[in-house]
Structure 1
Amino acid sequence: MIDALSDIGTLSALLAGISLSAAAGLRVFIPILALGLAARSGVLELGAQFQWMASDPVLLVVGVAALFETGAYYIPWVDNLLDLLATPAALGGGTVIVSSLLPEMEPAAQWTTAALLGGGSAGIVQAATVAARGVSTATSGGLGNFLIASVEAIGSVIAVILALLIPIAFGLLVIVGLIALLVWVLRRLLRRSAREPSAAPPG
């Protein structure tokens, strides 16, 4: 019985981590802040080497960063520049989030698993938002990006709340959504490559 409860707790924490990582693809610092606060309040348990994420200095810095990140995305054209920084940051953030919630294991296996589940989840969502922002910038000159920024910020907050309240149910839903997003991104990339003219052979 105890082992079963432990397994459910591990699954719950892992799915919460995947959901928070997906939210990091929308806004990098909001889910990291939420993870630290959740650990501080006892909702989630961080690995021993990740206790620093719930410390006062880290929560303060991440909170300020979350505010700046959210506000900066409402500045036309700056948002596109931020995507260049947010993409690797989201991959790293998602990896750290999942790694902090994994059971203790051999470091290489832990970080590889975290990179696949956490970094992959954040990367898929980030790729979709970059594509959507690119379309908006091209069609509206960046004016429509205000709506995208709002959807991203609100979506990140909602995802964080659901990840903490109903981690298993929401985590499974997120996984299904991530698979659908991945298919959409890949199809878009394939269509774009098919439309690009092939390079002319050297004369």
Structure 2
Amino acid sequence: MEYILSGALGLALAACSGFRVFVPLLAASIAYHTGVLHPSPGFAWLGSWVAVGALGTATVMEILGYYFPVVDNLLDTITTPASFIAGTVLMTAALPDLDPVVRWGLGVLVGGGTAGIIQTGTTLLRAGSTMGTAGLGNPVLATAENTLAVLGTVLALLLPLLAGGLVLILVLYIATRLRRWRQRRKGRKSGSVVPLA
């Protein structure tokens, strides 16, 4: 059961890093610092005062940065690889004492992959919002992402199994939408009609 709970916690926190890179990292850092959670071997640094301070500052800057036009799209460019790294770290740090190859493999594939899928979805949404509303709709999207990152992180810490299940549903939904979007683009290039549903 410990492995299931740890995996669900890591998965949920990794998913939240797809919305905001530093929110779940800060929450995990505080949880490790206060002893609420215990990191896997090699991740004690995540609970240090330095990590808490640095991640707190980065969290505030990231959240505020998404409310400024142009900066939000620039942040998407930076946070896409950063979310993959954060998701990997969060998943790996949450897993109990496993063989390092297995832990890091799960961290990269499951944690990094989940964060990457969600970040890709939010990046495409912001690009669509920028084109469709000349950026005026982007603050609404930023607020939704901030809310999902914070609420998802809290849910992950309090109810990891529920949060992990919700993440699986969200990832499957986003992956399906991305696949359909790619099919529509291919259909437009080839001149054939692809159904929207």
Same structural fold, with TM-score higher than 0.5 when normalized by the shorter chain: yes
CA shift digits 1:22-71 (9 cap, x unpaired): 00000000000001111222332201200000000111001000000111
Q: TM-score, normalised by structure 1?
A: 0.90
- Name the structure 2 match of 1:70: 63
The separation in 2 between residues aligned to 1:193 and 1:10, in whole angstroms, is: 41
SS of corresponding position for 1:49: coil
CA shift digits 1:91-149 (9 cap, x unpaired): 00000000111122333322111111100110111011011101100011111101000
Q: Does 1:52 align with 2:45?
A: yes
- Name the structure 2 match of 1:181: 174
Q: Does 1:23 align with 2:16?
A: yes
Quickly say closer, same or farther: Cα 1:42–1:9, change in 2 above 3 A. farther
User: Where do residues 69-148 of structure 1 align in structure 2 (5 Å cutoff)?
Assistant: 69-148=62-141
The separation in 1 between residues aligned to 2:70 and 2:38, in whole angstroms, is: 39
Larger Rg: 1
SS of corresponding position for 2:125: helix
Name the % identity: 37
Conserved 8 A contact 2:13-2:156: yes
The separation in 1 between residues aligned to 2:115 and 2:63, in whole angstroms, is: 17
1:51 partner letter? A
Deviation at 1:9, TM superposition (A): 2.4
Conserved 8 A contact 1:13-1:44: no
The separation in 2 between residues aligned to 1:192 and 1:33, in whole angstroms, is: 38
- Name the structure 2 match of 1:150: 143
Conserved 8 A contact 1:95-1:114: yes
Q: CA RMSD in A?
A: 1.3
Deviation at 1:197, TM superposition (A): 5.7
Conserved 8 A contact 2:6-2:96: no
Deviation at 1:190, TM superposition (A): 2.2
User: Deviation above 3 Å: which 4+ runs of structure 1?
Assistant: none
1:123 partner letter? G
The separation in 2 between residues aligned to 1:190 and 1:54, in whole angstroms, is: 44
1:149 partner letter? A
Give unpaired runs (5+ residues) of structure 2: 192-197
SS of corresponding position for 1:58: helix
2:171 partner letter? L
The separation in 2 between residues aligned to 1:141 and 1:193, in whole angstroms, is: 26
The separation in 2 between residues aligned to 1:143 and 1:184, in whole angstroms, is: 24
The separation in 1 between residues aligned to 2:58 and 2:153, in whole angstroms, is: 17
SS of corresponding position for 1:48: coil
1:120 partner letter? G
CA shift digits 1:12-31 (9 cap, x unpaired): 12101101110000000000
Conserved 8 A contact 2:83-2:115: yes
